[in-house]
Amino acid sequence: MTQQDDFESLDCTAVLADVWLMLDGECDETSRARLQRHIDDCGSCLEAYGIEEKVKSLVARKCGGEHAPDGLRDRLRVQLRTVTVEYRETVEIRESAEIRESAEIRESAEPPRG
């Protein structure tokens, strides 16, 4: 397969979907080289890659300096392993009028006592 064939076999949508994998170093060397060749040959993908690279750099600069407090990982691990069981009882309260109506119906259905 020539480089031109390789370029044509990659859809720009697929390349742009994998840009973050490439930026994060999460794709294998073969995929990275293939994506890089496409980006180098495709102006619109090169522009999109540049924008994504700048966004990643900006996020790293603005959010990368904060570190979690010491011991947070251990406290979270303990919390995640703790099972909390909560018992809740639902009590239905009916209006006293409904209860009276039902008692009256039962009384009227009974034969008179003699």
Alpha carbon distance 91, 63 (integer Å) = 49
35 burial level (CB within 10 Å; 0-12, 13-18, 19+): buried
State the average pLDDT over residues 26-38: 92
| pTM tops 0.85, yes or no | no
Residue 63: pLDDT band (50, 70, 90) is: confident
How many residues are given for the chain? 114
Domain segments of the chain as ranges: 3-63, 72-108
pLDDT at 93: 66
Confidence tier at 60 by pLDDT (50, 70, 90): confident
- Backbone torsion region of residue 71, taken as left when φ is above 0, otherwise alpha when ψ lies between -120 and 50, otherwise beta: left
